[in-house]
Structure formats: structure tokens, C-alpha cells
A and B are shown apart, each in its own frame.
Chain A
Amino acid sequence: GDSVTQMEGPVTLSEEAFLTINCTYTATGYPSLFWYVQYPGEGLQLLLKATKADDKGSNKGFEATYRKETTSFHLEKGSVQVSDSAVYFCALIAGSGGGADGLTFGKGTHLIIQP
């Protein structure tokens, strides 16, 4: 079945550091890929998405590129802020019409940014 693998957390960085959170996936067909963010005490918010190979999703300074050849969708940000501290989830919807199973999520990566 479909699966998403994320790097284990917590990831602790200093403010203004470069961020990479790795995400790889296994899926049939051509999935759409997402990053969601969950700030403390809140629900999940869509951060960015990409629906086909080589697409780059971007939002709030975060970027991720859909790499079909490496089945990856790594999240990057050039200079993180304390306010970026949250849990980040990589997710996919199978291209075969995966609504019956909903989004498949990774386990989440807790990001801690220190001043």
C-alpha cells in the first residue's frame, strides 16, 4: 500500500539556519504530494502541495519539489524563524483516486527553532 516516510524528530535548529526535512514515498500511479503544518494546540494546515513530477510547491518561504525519480518531496527553507516551530507532516493522495483512503501521512517531524 501507499506509505510516506519522514525523518525522525525532533529537529532542533537555531534561528536563521537552513532547514531540510526529508520525505520519501511509496505509491501506485502518480500521487499528489503535500506538506501540512501543525502549530501547537492547532489543527493541521496545508503548507504547500505539488500535483505532478518536477512541480515545486512554495509558501511562507518553504519549498518542496516533486522528484519522481527519487520518490521524494523534501521540505526546505532558507532561513527559519522561531515562529516556524511546529510539527510538519508529509502526505500523499494516490493518483488512482485515493479519496476512499484519504490522505496518507508520514508520522510527522517536530521542528524546534531556538532564538
Chain B
Amino acid sequence: GAGVSQSPSNKVTEKGKDVELRCDPISGHTALYWYRQSLGQGLEFLIYFQGNSAPDKSGLPSDRFSAERTGGSVSTLTIQRTQQEDSAVYLCASSLAQGVGGYTFGSGTRLTVV
């Protein structure tokens, strides 16, 4: 697509429920990134995919978080048993390859856990 598309744009969920966030990167972009933006916390790097592979998952906040990417395209970030501290904006970005070109960001998914 023309830009990075994320869905849903807003999600309100009850504590303890599972949620799935979707990112559709720019066509042809091999690198895909997930970030979390919390109020007052800036941007927190979560995970990076090169193709379908995530070399380092240590940025994920806990084992309730998982991410996958299939077909070198769409990625999903899954949060199991959501907690109130998971409330944040989850941003996805893609780029042609890891490195210096700068990334294109989606508009994010605002997650609110009540």
C-alpha cells in the first residue's frame, strides 16, 4: 500500500482479555518495527522483523507479548491477558532494509485497558 496501515486505530478492552494488533507495511519493505508510546515515557522499541524473522525478542515487555510476521508482509502483535499498564499507543514502522533511510510509521493503535 501507499503507507503503513495499522488496525484497529483504537481498541478498548477489559483487563485480562487478549488483543491482536495488525500492521500492514509498505509493499516491498522488508524491515518492520513495533514501538510502544506511553504517556510520559517516549518511544519504546519492542521488536524488529527482517522478512519473517525476528532476530531479537528481548525488547518485548513480558511473555504476554508476542509478534509474528507472515509472507514478509503483515505483522500482528498479540498481547495476552492484558493489564492496565499495557495501555499505550502501539506504533508500527517499515523500511526497505535495516539502516539509514529512515522509517515510515503508521498512525498507531491506541490501546486502552479498563
Contact = CB atoms under 8 A, between A and B. Distances in A.
A100 B55 contact: yes
Interface string A30-60: 0010101000011111100101000000000
A72 to B, nearest CB: 19
Contact of B107 (A43, A49, A89): A43
Contact of A93 (B56, B91, B99): B99
B43 to A, nearest CB: 4
B33 A102 contact: yes
Do most interface residues of chain A lie in helix, strand or loop, or is the interface mixed? mixed
B33 A51 contact: no
Given A43-B105, A44-B91, A99-B48, A51 B43 contact: no
Interface residues of A, number: 25
A108 B40 CA distance: 9
A49 B71 CA distance: 30
Given A43-B91, A97-B98, A97-B99, A102 B105 contact: no
Interface string B37-64: 0000111010010100001100100000
A89 B43 contact: yes
A105 B50 CA distance: 20
Given A99-B97, A108-B42, A46 B48 contact: no
A107 B102 contact: no
Contacts of A93: 99-100
B67 interface: no
Contact of B48 (A43, A101, A104): A101
Interface in A67-115: 89, 93, 97-108
Given A43-B108, A49-B102, A107-B41, 4 more contacts: A43-B106, A93-B99, A98-B99, A102-B48
Interface of A: 32, 34, 36, 41-46, 49, 51, 89, 93, 97-108
Interface of B: 4, 31, 33, 35, 41-43, 45, 48, 50, 55-56, 59, 91, 93, 97-100, 102-108
Question: Which 3 residue pairs are nearest across A and B when measured between Cβ atoms?
Answer: A99-B98, A107-B42, A105-B43
